[in-house]
């Protein structure tokens, strides 16, 4: 909370204007292109990070496929994760998020602009429909992000279990799977410190359909988690 207040205070002149603009975009999603929404969100992220003493250290941008229609699968550390990736990813993407965060102010507007899907983990039928809808959109060239852990890890840089079911949309879409290793992404929002913090975002080499087409989703989940864990271990003290 302290860092959020710092972000707001140091951007106090811009905050009213950007809040109004964000809300307008969220209420008029069809009026803007995905690129226009994304450019606006990136501007907000850049300003918030600068004001909040947060530096994003990005690696592996060359690993992001040039052609849209791919899916990111990062480890999940907290509410800040998506904002860290938005800050440095050059390509627009959307997300699949749990419905519990659907009404959190600011995130609510951000997800509306991204045309995100809210997943009800208690409703199997709704969850399956989300998988089908996301797969169809990825086939048409949209990019998506899914947290394979389902919920954030409470162990900082130690990921939880990656669930095989999270990869069903990717296997249906036959799209590139891009593992993303987040390091210290829990620190901006989930600690009380306002000291400068660096969040590392590592885009790892993608798994293409030809590589995983004969694998079970649990096997894909294991490979993605292993690559993320290795990256985290190699880049933390």
Task: Give the 3-state DSSP-derived string for the chain, with helices as H, strands as E and coil as C.
Answer: CHHHHHHHHHCCCCHHHHHHHHHHHHHCHHHCCHHHHHHHHHHHHHHHHHHCCEEEEEECHHHCCCCCCCEEEECCCCCCHHHHHHHHCCCCCEEEEEHHHCCCCCHHHHHHHCCCEEECCCCHHHHHHHHHHHHHHHHCCCCEEECCCCCCCCCCCCCCCCCHHHHHHHHHHCCCEEEEEEECCCHHHHCCCCCCEEEEEEECCCECHHHHCCCCHHHHHHHHHHHHHHHHHHCCC
**pLDDT for 184:** 94
Q: Is the pTM of this model over 0.85?
A: yes
**pLDDT for 79:** 83
- In tens digits, the chain (237 residues) has pLDDT values of 688 888 988 999 999 999 999 999 999 999 999 999 999 999 999 999 999 999 999 999 999 999 999 999 999 998 889 999 999 999 999 999 888 777 888 888 999 999 999 888 778 888 889 999 999 999 999 999 999 988 777 778 899 999 999 999 999 999 999 999 999 999 998 888 889 999 999 999 999 999 999 999 999 999 999 999 999 999 987
**pLDDT for 100:** 79
């Amino acid at each position: 909370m302290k860092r959020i207040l710092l972000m707001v205070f140091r951007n106090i002149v811009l905050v009213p204007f950007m809040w109004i603009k964000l809300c307008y975009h969220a209420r008029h999603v069809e009026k803007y292109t995905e690129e226009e929404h994304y450019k606006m969100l990136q501007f907000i992220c850049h300003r918030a990070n600068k004001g909040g003493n947060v530096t994003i250290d990005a690696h592996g941008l060359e690993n992001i496929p040039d052609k849209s229609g791919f899916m990111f699968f990062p480890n999940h550390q907290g509410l800040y994760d998506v904002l860290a990736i938005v800050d440095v990813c050059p390509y627009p993407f959307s997300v699949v998020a749990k419905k519990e965060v659907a009404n959190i102010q600011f995130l609510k507007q951000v997800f509306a602009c991204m045309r995100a899907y809210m997943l009800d983990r208690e409703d199997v039928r709704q969850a399956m429909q989300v998988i089908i809808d996301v797969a169809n959109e990825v086939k048409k060239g949209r990019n998506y992000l899914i947290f394979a852990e389902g919920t954030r890890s409470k162990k900082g840089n130690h990921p939880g279990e990656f669930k095989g079911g999270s990869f069903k949309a990717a296997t249906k879409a036959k799209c590139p799977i891009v593992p993303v290793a987040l390091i210290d992404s829990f620190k901006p929002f989930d600690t009380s410190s306002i000291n400068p913090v660096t969040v590392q975002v590592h885009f790892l080499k993608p798994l293409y359909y030809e590589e995983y087409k004969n694998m079970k989703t649990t096997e894909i989940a294991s490979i993605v988690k292993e690559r993320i864990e290795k990256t985290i271990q190699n880049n933390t003290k």
